[in-house]
Chain A
Amino acid sequence: MSQVPCVIGFGMSPWGSEWKLSARDLIAKAARETIKSAGIGMKEIEAIHIGAMTTGMFTGQENIGAYAADAMGIPGVPASRHEGACASASVAFNAACDDIASGRHKMVWSGGIEKMTDVSGDGATAALAAASEREFEADQGATFPLMYALMAKSHMAALGTTREMLTAVAVKNHRNASKNPHAQFQMEVTPKIVESSIMVADPLRLFDCSPITDGSAGLIVVSEDVAKSLGKPYVRVLGRALVSDQMFLHRRKVLHEMPGAVKATKHALDEAGKKITDMQAIELHDCFTIAELMLLEAMGLYEPGKAGPATVDGKTAIEGESPVNSSGGLKGKGHPVGATGAAQIGELFLQLTGTAPTERQIPKDPTVGMAMNVGGIGTMCGATVLEGVRK
């Protein structure tokens, strides 16, 4: 009989420009925090699934499954690396859930890693561009900021999205990050700071873009009988989906829509038996401010063109009707690409079990939430619906 996968622990390494820490150090720190959170020993972990987008280009290190097992002091366990661009950790999480659901394992570590500051900013741009269609997009000069800029221009022209709406996303997520001790940018920003920052690709400015981040995050995934036996709060994985989409932006019928996110949301919600309006906490992939608006619309929480006004009106703030990115999102918390999906699920673990720090706990004490982790321009979308079980 299929088991319901549950998450019993979450941990992060420091996130930021962690020059003194190698990828090995980051994984070890995240793993240590994860087992502390779960109240288990490292040797109880039966398998490792780790997301890593392009460690080869960032650090020269590959063979990341074995590398992680070694860093965690448990060589000998099955250990595999998963890649789905910035959704790599969601791909890993789904594999971990499959391990639990099938009964193959009872306790699995699922996480992610990216060590991005060993290369220059230019080198990081090149490594990230590997997630686009390399031969015909990146080589034409299409960086990720540029492609999201094209989507933003399309969204603005078709739906009336404004500069003020993009700014509101950045201001909100930085405000949330200021309450997150693990965030890369624990500071608030004003609209003036956002709107006077340097232009990267029109209309996206520096403060519309998520940063380059070193970091790792981990989750302990177990069967529900194990979760119950520990007598601590946990979250149940009610629904999950991984959906791929066409690589080329120009082949998308509507440039500012993300069909992959639409499908992933539907599949995950159907599996969970929930509606999007049931979600009381959402962590989503704000790699650029426009991405948050596009995803809120793709997920069906707002009609096309309505996510921007809702953000300006404070509806997606922690105290709003639909709190989004209470962690600070990628924008404020940071975006170590291979690890981001694990941290999104981790934030929901904290919120849904009521164990988030008081200053950023969503006041309505949510019990059901959704993570949306996106790779590339929406070419890989991982959606996860979680339900908290509080003790």
Chain B
Amino acid sequence: MSETIFPPRIKRRSEVLYHLKAAKFPSGHVVYPPCEIDPETGETDPEYIQLPKTGTVVVDTVQRIVPSWMVLNGPYHVVVVECDDDNHTRLMSQLTGADPDTDYTGWRVQARFRRLNANEPEGTIVYGFKWEPMVGPAYLHT
């Protein structure tokens, strides 16, 4: 697996992964990750937008048998999150700062910039966003 991620691949994804970049089509439909053609409507010519960095977990699971390229993380959550934009745009990502024995479905989360996995050939460290559960009094009204 490790031989399949090279710096060009990391480079071309970095804007999307660093900034939660999405495509907004003329109809208003938002697609993540961004693309040239809306896979649902066939529309073209999107504008590129940044998704809000907060949302709600729609569904959550924990990978217990961890593949080598993710071994950095130990058992890890992957969640589908509905972002706080008008389109309720969904995306799939890891959860960070999470207890492996808690189900975070329905939790409020915020995007955090983190090292993504252990798959780092040629010294390139892969960064991107993960979601973090919003806990504590500071988040009661968010």
**Chain A residues within CB distance 8 Å of chain B:** 122-123, 125-126, 129, 134-137, 139-143, 145-146, 149-150, 153-154, 157, 198-203, 246, 248-251, 255
Which residues in chain B, 102-124, are within 8 Å of chain A measured between CB atoms?
Answer: 103, 105, 116-117, 119
Q: Could you tell me the distance between the alpha carbons of A126 and B94 in the complex, rounded to whole angstroms?
A: 18
Q: Could you tell me the distance between the alpha carbons of A126 and B3 in the complex, rounded to whole angstroms?
A: 11
* B81-102 Cβ-contact flags toward A at 8 Å (1 or 0): 0000000001111100000000
Contacts of A122 in B (CB 8 A): 1, 67-68
Shortest Cβ distance from B128 into chain A, in angstroms? Answer: 8
Q: Are A250 and B91 in contact (CB under 8 A)?
A: yes
Q: Who on chain A is nearest to B90 by CB? A: A250
User: Does B23 lie at the interface of the complex (its beta carbon under 8 Å from any beta carbon of A)?
Assistant: no
User: Does B51 lie at the interface of the complex (its beta carbon under 8 Å from any beta carbon of A)?
Assistant: no
Q: Are A199 and B116 in contact (CB under 8 A)?
A: no
Q: Are A140 and B105 in contact (CB under 8 A)?
A: no
With beta carbons under 8 angstroms apart, the residue of B39, B60, B119 that contacts A139 is B119
Q: Who on chain A is nearest to B1 by CB? A: A126
What are 5 contact pairs spanning A and B, CB under 8 A? A122-B1, A200-B64, A202-B62, A246-B39, A255-B58
Q: Are B9 and A135 in contact (CB under 8 A)?
A: yes
Q: Are B59 and A153 in contact (CB under 8 A)?
A: yes
Q: Are B93 and A146 in contact (CB under 8 A)?
A: no
Q: Could you tell me the distance between the alpha carbons of A203 and B62 in the complex, rounded to whole angstroms?
A: 9
User: Does B63 lie at the interface of the complex (its beta carbon under 8 Å from any beta carbon of A)?
Assistant: yes
Contacts of B80 in A (CB 8 A): 150, 249-250, 255
Contacts of A157 in B (CB 8 A): 59, 105
Shortest Cβ distance from A214 into chain B, in angstroms? Answer: 20
With beta carbons under 8 angstroms apart, the residue of A137, A140, A201 that contacts B116 is A140
Contacts of B16 in A (CB 8 A): 136
Q: Are A251 and B31 in contact (CB under 8 A)?
A: yes
Q: Are A150 and B90 in contact (CB under 8 A)?
A: no
Residue of A125, A136, A145, A198 with most chain B CB atoms under a 10 A cut-off = A136
